[in-house]
């Protein structure tokens, strides 16, 4: 059936029979991507109006909210009701974690959660009475929460086996206090969670390099080196590098394109533009 959907419109297959229609819905709604407020509103109407055991909402296993548009309080409410209405949902991608603190979705058994940002920016504030670890709520208002603060929001997470974090790197001659805290907390997470199978830290530059001159993005004291030493001590820690050795070229519209030209092993070397 999935192969048939590649060459045949879903609407055509759905009218063959009720059985075909049910099968098409099961495949079609297994993964839902909401990349625009209009799609959020439309899918919200779909899940709220369908009450039968075979309604589309019962088939959703992966939901990704990727809209870059401005979110409103109404949008947040819609997202909460969408998530709460999908009992089979297991993989969820959200712009911010505030929705997870809503009691509406407390019954959803999520297996994997991806957050684009970890903060409480309007309209994604969370109510302390539903969130975890609110000893210092102000810490949760920061755009860059520490790894431990991020984990504390979700509670014990006794079944956590895989964790992915990001770290922005600035061009400094040495690590600053925040870098030291980050590395220390990464070590603490690894030491306190023996069931954790993999901890991935994606490191990326705070600014794109200047294509007109060579520059070294990482010094001997940078956070990348410290993370590398931690990875040598614990094989569960995986360091990924993004944005290094990147060329800047103009595309057909006159805007810069960023093209990665070097493997991760070369990420700590000097950056230079490609020879003409």
From first to last of the 276 residues of the chain, give the pLDDT tens digit. 555 555 566 666 565 666 666 676 777 889 999 999 999 999 999 998 877 777 888 999 999 999 877 889 999 999 999 999 999 999 999 988 888 888 888 788 888 888 888 777 788 876 654 444 333 332 222 234 578 877 877 777 888 899 988 887 765 555 677 888 899 999 999 999 999 999 988 887 766 555 444 444 455 457 878 888 899 999 999 988 765 544 444 444 444 344 444 333 334 433 333 344
Q: Which of 246, 175, 168, 253 is nearest to 210 (CA)?
A: 246
Q: Are 140 and 97 in contact (CB under 8 A)?
A: no
Residue 38's pLDDT is what? 93
Cβ partners under 8 Å of residue 122, min gap 6: none
Whole-angstrom distance, CA of residue 44 vs CA of residue 75: 10
Look up the domain containing 18 and give its range: 1-157
Distance of CA 161 to the CA centre of its chain: 16
Q: Which residues fall within 8 angstroms of residue 67, CB to CB, at 6 or more apart?
A: 34, 35, 36, 37, 39, 40, 95
pLDDT of residue 221: 56
Rounded Cα–Cα distance for residues 115 and 109 (Å): 17
Is residue 19, in this structure, part of any structural domain at all?
Answer: yes
Q: In this structure, is residue 106 part of a structural domain?
A: yes
Q: Is the dihedral of CA 105, 110, 114, 118 positive or negative?
A: positive
Regarding pTM above 0.75, the answer is no
Count of domains observed in the chain: 1
Q: Is residue 137 part of a domain?
A: yes
Residues with Cβ within 8 Å of 125's Cβ and at least 6 positions away in sequence, in order, are: 98
Q: How far apart are CA 201 and CA 66, in angstroms?
A: 22
The answer to whether residues 21 and 56 touch, using CB atoms and an 8 Å cutoff, is: no
Q: Is residue 180 part of a domain?
A: no
- Asked if residues 126 and 147 have their Cβ atoms less than 8 Å apart, the reply is no
Q: Could you report how far apart the first and last alpha carbons of the chain are, in Å?
A: 50
Give a yes or no: residue 75 inside a domain: yes
Whether residue 245 is contained in a domain is answered as no
pLDDT of 195: 92
pLDDT value, residue 254: 44
Residue 236 lies in a domain: no
Q: Confirm whether 167 is domain-assigned.
A: no
């Amino acid at each position: 059936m999935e192969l048939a959907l590649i060459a045949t419109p879903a609407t055509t297959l759905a009218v063959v029979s009720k059985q075909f229609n049910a099968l098409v819905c099961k495949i079609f709604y297994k993964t839902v991507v909401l990349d625009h407020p209009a799609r959020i509103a439309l899918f919200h109407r779909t899940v709220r109006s369908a009450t039968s055991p075979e309604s589309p909402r019962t088939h959703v296993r992966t939901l990704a909210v990727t809209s870059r548009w401005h979110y409103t309080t109404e949008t947040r409410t819609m997202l909460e009701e969408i998530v709460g209405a999908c009992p089979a949902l297991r993989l969820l991608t959200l712009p911010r974690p505030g929705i997870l603190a809503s009691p509406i979705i407390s019954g959803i058994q999520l297996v994997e959660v991806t957050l684009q940002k970890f903060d409480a920016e309007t309209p994604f504030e969370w109510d302390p009475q539903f969130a975890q670890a609110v000893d210092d709520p102000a810490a949760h208002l920061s755009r860059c929460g520490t790894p431990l603060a991020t984990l504390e929001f979700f509670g014990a997470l006794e079944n956590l086996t895989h964790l992915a974090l990001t770290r922005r790197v600035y061009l400094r001659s040495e690590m600053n206090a925040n870098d030291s805290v980050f590395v220390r907390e990464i070590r603490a997470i690894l030491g306190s969670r023996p069931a954790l199978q993999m901890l991935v830290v994606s490191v990326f530059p705070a600014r794109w390099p200047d294509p007109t001159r060579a520059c070294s993005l990482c010094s001997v004291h940078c956070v990348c080196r410290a993370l590398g030493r931690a990875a040598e001590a614990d094989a569960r820690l995986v360091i990924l590098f993004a944005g290094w050795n990147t060329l800047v070229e103009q595309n057909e519209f006159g805007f810069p394109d960023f093209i990665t030209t070097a493997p991760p092993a070369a990420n700590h070397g000097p950056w230079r533009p490609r020879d003409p």
